[in-house]
Amino acid sequence: MFEIKAKDGLGRIGILSLEKKKVETPTLMPVINPNKIVIAPKDMEKYGAEMIITNSYIIYRTQKLKEAAIEKGIHKMLDYKGIIETDSGSFQMAAYGDIEIENKEILQFQKDIGVDIGTFLDIPTHPDESHKKTFSDLEITLERAREAIEFDLNLNGTIQGGTHLDLRKKSTEEMNKLPFTVNPIGGVVPLMMEYKFSELVDIILTVKGNLSSSRPVHLFGAGHPMLLSLSVLLGCDLFDSAAYVLYAQDLRYLTSYGTKKLNEMKYLPCNCPVCRRYTAQELINENEQKRLELLSSHNLYATFEEIKIIKEAIHEGTLFELVESRIRGHPRLLLAYRRIKDYYGVLEKYDPFTKRSSIFYTGEESNLRPIVKRTKERIRDIKSKKYDEHLFFGKFPKELEFTYPFGQCEMEEERKDKGDPELNDEDIVKVIADYQFGPNVGNKLFHDVVVKRSKTGMIRYVFDQNGVMLATLRARDGLFTPNIEGLRRLKEIIPFPKYRIIVDDEAARFIKDGANVFSKFVLDIDENLRAYEEVLIVDSNDNLLGTGTLMLAPIEVKEFERGMAVRTRWGIEKNSIQESQLEY
């Protein structure tokens, strides 16, 4: 089972649960070569690894390892208690053309040795292959996938199709029909080796545009920290890395902005235990095996540090900013990022409506973010008494100058002349309501209001003439949190089913008292909503139950069986707040 805890772009922090074991994503699986272990699996925890990946085909073909795995199980053989995923031999098939094992045989072996996630024997077609050959290979892969689900085992359903996007789409649609635990994107290592990142972006977004959002995505063979943030932004959750060892064998030093050659370095720009203890020259002077271990250790530390940076960026809502800094590490990454303009529809429906942090403009690529086009479309039909020019969004209603994203945007030039004496508070709150809840809502929602400002002079509360609070204007993003009375008004103003999430009767009585809404209890949802918007919670008869923050995109609410859909702020049976209860 998989659930989302936070999101930005297509990136998400999630929890993948496998029986009693759990792993937080995005994460990296260090590759363990059972014939040549450089860093022991039991030591992987200190780097941040919660799961590892090894090759079941190598174990199967090595008699000593095979006997040990069958006798002890894979976890005891490797001395690792965490989640172990295994590949099936497809990589060897890609490298050598064929392998001496059948699909059912390798699946049964993985089951017998107790792996946590197994892989069937898919065909990893080279990106340069013709459409005809790729289609033929894909048909075999799909046949083997259908064969694989007969096994009682958590499985990878690897999506193939080469660089032929129609075949990637077909593969994804077929994998959607089968109950796989994870869907890796396979056959992309040659693209990464040749820096063909634009083709990689096309493949990832074609898959994400057609795959159930409830499926974790593993980008097979991706383990260089330079590529991770972009891959997460595009919706990949799991990565595997043999690079930490392979690069170390060639005296290559991994960083989040590229690869350096150790014998050309004077300083080590890292603060991991290896780089704190050694200088570049001291590493070079070590014996070959010791140097391999130390450099592999650094490469793992650097990779997991980047994973942590990515997670924090998702939490803050700054993943686009992080990616736009990382893509400048290589011209081909910059070119690849520009491909997202062709996938606006895929990105926009998942990207949250508001975020914790301000938007930072980093260059012309910032204009490719879905929030730019979405915001321009959202203000198109809003009527204003006065307009202003925004360096990012162009002409906009001046009443929105402190509302996200207009007021939470850092550009190369600071906006001047904030505030306008020609605009009264009632005009401002009405236009904000139009932006947040739809054109023409503001006049009806706030037709009889008293607006109160905080000690800092910012609009904070909106009351009716009797002192009952209708809404609070959040300081963080300048958007409204409706109170119970405001909620009732919105429900009457906005026609069904807009701005609503509809829950079943089993959950309704708990939500009235303020319980959160979980995806499995949702009957329907307005598909035009976006994550982190304020929503109306109703039952199947449109009876009002409460309000709260939508935590997922509508498509995710429908496709996930687990996790919170709405963090409920108010249940309808909670008391409204009176003005006398507040401090200014």
The residues annotated as belonging to the active site are 87
236 assigned to a ligand binding site: no
Please tell me the distance from the alpha carbon of residue 12 to that of residue 50, in angstroms, as a whole number. 17
Beta-sheet strands, E only, within 186-282: 217-219, 238-241, 252-255, 258-261
Please tell me the distance from the alpha carbon of residue 131 to that of residue 51, in angstroms, as a whole number. 36
**Nearest to residue 357, comparing CAs of 389, 330, 317?**
317
272 assigned to a ligand binding site: yes
Transcribe 493-556 into DSSP letters.
Answer: HSPTTTTEEEE-HHHHHHHHTTPPEEGGGEEEE-TT--TT-EEEEE-TT--EEEEEEE-S-HHH
Crossing angle of helices 225-233 and 319-326, in 10° steps, is 140
Cβ-contact 52, 80 below 8 angstroms: yes
| 457 conformational bin, left if phi > 0, alpha if psi -120 to 50, beta if neither | left
Q: How far, CA to CA in Å, does 494 sit from each of 38, 309, 403, 431?
A: 62, 40, 21, 16
Output DSSP code: residue 303: H
3-state secondary structure of 239: strand
457 assigned to a ligand binding site: no
275 assigned to a ligand binding site: yes
Q: Beta 183-185 vs 217-219: how paired, if at all? A: parallel
Token representation of residue 315 = 């939490």
Please tell me the distance from the alpha carbon of residue 549 to that of residue 530, in angstroms, as a whole number. 10
409 assigned to a ligand binding site: no
Q: How far, CA to CA in Å, does 72 sit from each of 51, 76, 112, 297, 340?
A: 19, 6, 10, 28, 47
Burial of residue 322 (number of CB atoms within 10 Å: 0-12, 13-18, 19+)? buried
Please tell me the distance from the alpha carbon of residue 114 to that of residue 59, in angstroms, as a whole number. 13
3-state secondary structure of 120: coil
Q: How far, CA to CA in Å, does 144 sit from each of 32, 211, 471?
A: 25, 19, 56
Specify which residues 18 forms β-bridges with. Answer: 21
Cβ-contact 142, 172 below 8 angstroms: no
Contacts of 253 (CB under 8 A, 6+ apart): 247, 259, 260, 261, 262, 265, 268, 295, 298, 299
Would you list which residues are annotated within the binding site?
Answer: 122, 187, 270, 272, 275
* Binding-site sequence positions for Zn(2+): 270, 272, 275
Could you list the residues known to form a binding site for substrate, using ranges. 122, 187
